Structure formats: C-alpha cells, structure tokens
Structure 1
C-alpha cells in the first residue's frame, strides 16, 4: 500500500490514500471534508472520476461548491428565509443574483480525521465535524460524520447526522459531486430512471409546485450539447441508478433510497457532470418536500455508491 501524504490546494491541505495499483481517494478535511479525487480501477483501467480542484486554484474563489456535502439544507433556499417552532430565521445570501441561500454551510467547515485505513482490500477515511449551533440562522447543534471508502472499482460515501441539541431540528442533506470519465460531457451517454421533473421559475430557479413525468434518459442517450440543470423526484418503484458511459468506461451512481431527490447539472466548461443525490427538494425548508425534522438525540444515516466498469 502506498500512502501519499499531502499537498496544498490553495491554502488547504489535501490528503491522499492510494493503493500501489492506483485506486484511492484525495480528501480536503479543512475545506468541508470534500472529496477532491477518486481513483477507481477495473482491470487495467484506472480513472480519476472526480472533477476536483488542482493545486493552483484558490478553492474559495474557484468552484467553491464542487464535490461538497450539503447541510443543513440542499440546493436553494428562497431569500434564505424559513420558519421553525414559531420562530423565523434567515441564512446569509450567497446567490445574490437570485436572492437565494445556496447549499447550506458545510462546504467550507473544518473536519477532523477520525480514522484512516489502507490495506490490500480497502482504502477509507472517516472524518467528523461538530457543529455547535452557534449560527443565529440555524441554532441547532449537530454531529456530522462522513466516511469515504474505496475497494478497487467500488466507492461508498457514508454520512451520519446526530442531533446533539435539546430541540427537534429541520434538516436535509445531500452530496454535490462532479463526475468525469476523462472526456467532454457532450460525448457521454447518460441513462437515468424515469422520474418526476420539478418545474422551477426562470428567474430564481425555485419550484412552482408543478411536476412533469420525465423519461428523457430512461433508455439512455448521448448528452450532446444539451444543458442540464433540473431537479427530479426519484421513483421508489425503479432502481435509483444513474449511469454515465464513455467509449471506454461506465460509471454508475446509486443513491440510498433515503435520498429521494436528484439534481443533474452540466457546468459551463462541460468537462464533468454534477449528479447530486439529495434527501429533499429545492426550498424544502419552506415547501416541506422531503424535509426531515430530527428529534433531539436522533440520528439519520445515508449513503451513495459509485461503481466503475470498463467497456
């Protein structure tokens, strides 16, 4: 087993754990515990399937939400406002052009490394963040544990939340990875299950309350020049598997059934595809779709699996 120490990405440390044959992970603990690289191997094929930050970028300015964990809300929150327990709160606005709060606040939170494992069968890294409830817009303490685990061609993200405060707390979680197979998105073939597409307004990209059945990628087809930026309600009657195919490889993303919503997004550079499993809808703190209210002392766990297959 080869354990590669660390390198600087902007002002943050990125730690790598890799097998001698190449598969493994790179994680940035002090910058939201984000997964910055994921090398998977199937036979002779070894690919980094995460579009991460390179050593020359300043993470706070360049692609700040790439590959982040989403908490305590996912996607957009209208004007940052919500109410809970007879009180009103407002998150800071970090999408000013649309007057929305975006992706919660875990994306730049410092995590501590709890455990690292590197042997012939598995590479894994467990990290933890203790949120004290010290933000006026979200006064609900939580313990957040995340584990990244690789076994050659198979990756698993495991996320556990614990409400450590005295009161029940509204919460939603998700993951915002940007996947790549080493070619432009245009060349990828995408297969996604039939789902309900959430209709949003053009100005702020917030739900209108309408949904439409969507089977656009159910049979699988090339993405081409199409721009994707849609949120879906996944059906519990169909396997929630999203497949990306290039001429040489197939990547499958399999969210746990507790992650019943999915955002697909093609960034302007079109070298990767965001496949974002989420436990709740856009603006869930206001519309209630998928929103959890976790009692004091309760925990919630979920996971996402990623598989690489060579073609």
Structure 2
C-alpha cells in the first residue's frame, strides 16, 4: 500500500528490468531507462486503475520484440518512412528497412535505445525524473541520422497529474529535421471492474489522411466518416472498428484524448497541445483491450508526401536551436446526477 506521505522515487526491478518508480499518492509511474526511456506504467493505486498497457511477466519476450505496443515509447521519427529514404535540405537519409512487408522503415531509433538518468528529485508535492539521450559521431544512430543533438525526456508526477516535457537541442553545425511522436498504449478497460463496452473515446481530430496499401499518405485529406465525426464530438467506442488510421488534429479546440469509463464514472484525459498536430489511432484487432492514440509532430512519411513540406509538420531545427513540448495525463471524476422523484 502506498500512503499519502510516501512521495518518492526509488530504483526497482520491473519484470527483470532495471526501473525507476515514482510515487505521489494516489498515482504511481514506472519508467525503464534502459528500454527506450519507456514510461511503462501509470497507475491510480487508490482505485486500482492501470491506465497504460503494461507487459505481464510472461509477456516480456513480446515486449522486447514489440516495445512500441506497451507504455509510452518514443518514436523518432514516428511511424513509416517510405523505402527508408528521404531528403531534407541538402542531405539524403537512408534508414534500415525494418518493415519488410511494406518495404518501409518503422518507428525510428529511440524506442529501444538506452537512455541516461540525468536527474531525480522528490518533494512533498511532486516527483520528477529526467532522462537524456545524446547523439553524436560516437553513437550508432549517427550513421543513419548524422546530426549532433541532445534530447531530454522529463516526467513529473503530482497528486493531480503526470506531465511529460520533451526538449531537443541541435548541437551540430547544420539544420536537422525534427520528427517526433509517441506510441502511447492505453488500456481499455483500465479498471478491473469494467469491460471494453464501458468505454467512450473522444479524440480531437478534424480530417482523415488517406493512406495507401503500404500505410503511407497519398497526399489527400478526407472528410471524417460518421463514426469518426462521432469520435471527434460526443465520442465513440475505441473499438468501433479495426483502426490503423491517420488524422490531422483540430486547431480550434484543445488537442487531447478523453477516455471515459462509464461504469466507474471517470475520464482519463491525455492533453498533447498544438506542438503535435497529427494523430495515429491504432487498436490492433479492435478486441485486444488496448488502443494507441499517438501524437505526432509531423505527417507520416512527411518528407516524401507529395505536398508542400510546410503542410507536413516537418520542423527545421537550426544549429543551436532547441524545441520543446509538453503533454499531460489527468483524471476527472464525474458526479452522479440526482434522480428526480
């Protein structure tokens, strides 16, 4: 049992892997620095909620093979790059083909990279851990992405929320393309008292981005279907159909996911802000009890999509410049309405 006075950060072991555990009642978070800096667990210990999809002890082989289907993996760049190749400014990049069925590069290099723990702090109000990753000529990633830069990933847990802060600093002499996303895996149900049918999902999407048979954007934007419009307004089941869809976010409303457990009368909110103007929405087979609302800074395969680069969200991070963004998770408990006699 975790008590309200137990705010702390401790080193621990998560299913055989070195981990750090953050506790600020009623919340708990666990992060795996050696496995891509993955925040593998976010829990409400008071109500026994597990918001993120965590691998059980007998799922660790699957976690190591498919780390982007658990917790909050870092995607840099996010999703797919056609043929593993793209050009930006005066440089051509060649990434390994790790999705051979579609001949694409998938999900970048950071989701299974080892991160350094650069800071841990605790107080009566919150607990914070900061991870950092430095890429330079000594890094194995440099041969594919020849830029010197530093990325920090900071998680702060309080009694009200879990906040994620990301900072990327270009330490090289040339501009670099910035393409970032998170393959956030959400449990539905996150309560042991509920079923998949008890959940309603709202996602701030405006347009659907058409994908071809290789799951790459064609350059066309489509109107939302009626089921997707429902998703963007009053909400729909996160399992209304099998999903592996790409969307542009709404610009005139908060950019967020709202997942409501109608039985428990509670909503989990995932706010990502305007720095992530694109979403992927994935639910595997629509019956596995989890889905992934994936915020992205750029369109899938952005450098290769046949539209002007400024419409794809690709960011030019110049020498000496830094970019930062923050997201947060929190919950809202819904009051029961009084019944009229």
TM-score, normalized by the shorter chain, greater than 0.5: yes
Taking a change above 3 Å as real, the CA distance of residues 55 and 118 of structure 1, as seen in their structure-2 partners, is farther
- How many residue pairs match? The answer is 305
Structure 1: where are the runs of 5+ without partners?
Answer: none
Does 1:189 pair with 2:224? no
Distance 2:48 2:180 in 1: 30
User: Equivalent residue for 1:210?
Assistant: 220
User: Equivalent residue for 1:111?
Assistant: 115
Map Cα deviations across residues 240-272 of structure 1 (whole Å, 9 max, x no partner).
121111121211111121111111110235221
User: Equivalent residue for 1:222?
Assistant: 237
- Is the contact between residue 27 and residue 34 of structure 1 (CA under 8 Å) also seen in structure 2? yes
> Tell me, what secondary structure is at the counterpart of 1:216?
helix
Among 244, 256, 267, the alignment partner of 1:250 is 267
- Is the contact between residue 40 and residue 154 of structure 1 (CA under 8 Å) also seen in structure 2? no
Taking a change above 3 Å as real, the CA distance of residues 105 and 251 of structure 1, as seen in their structure-2 partners, is same
Taking a change above 3 Å as real, the CA distance of residues 168 and 223 of structure 1, as seen in their structure-2 partners, is closer
Higher-strand-fraction structure: 1
- Is the contact between residue 65 and residue 107 of structure 1 (CA under 8 Å) also seen in structure 2? no
User: Equivalent residue for 2:148?
Assistant: 141
C-alpha RMSD over aligned residues: 2.0
Extract structure 1 runs of 4+ deviating beyond 4 A. Answer: 183-186
Distance 1:197 1:234 in 2: 9
TM-score for both structures, normalised by structure 2:
0.83
Q: Cα distance, 1:222 vs. partner? A: 2.7
Q: Cα distance, 1:117 vs. partner? A: 2.1
> Tell me, what secondary structure is at the counterpart of 1:285?
helix
Among 275, 278, 281, the alignment partner of 2:296 is 278
- Is the contact between residue 184 and residue 272 of structure 1 (CA under 8 Å) also seen in structure 2? no
User: Equivalent residue for 2:176?
Assistant: 169
Does 1:26 pair with 2:30? yes
Distance 1:188 1:3 in 2: 32
User: Equivalent residue for 1:295?
Assistant: 318
Taking a change above 3 Å as real, the CA distance of residues 153 and 271 of structure 1, as seen in their structure-2 partners, is farther
Map Cα deviations across residues 146-185 of structure 1 (whole Å, 9 max, x no partner).
1011112311110000011111111211111111223554
Equivalent residue runs for 1:19-58 within 5 Å: 19=24, 21-40=25-44, 45-56=47-58, 57-58=60-61
Q: Cα distance, 1:5 vs. partner? A: 2.7
- Is the contact between residue 185 and residue 273 of structure 1 (CA under 8 Å) also seen in structure 2? no
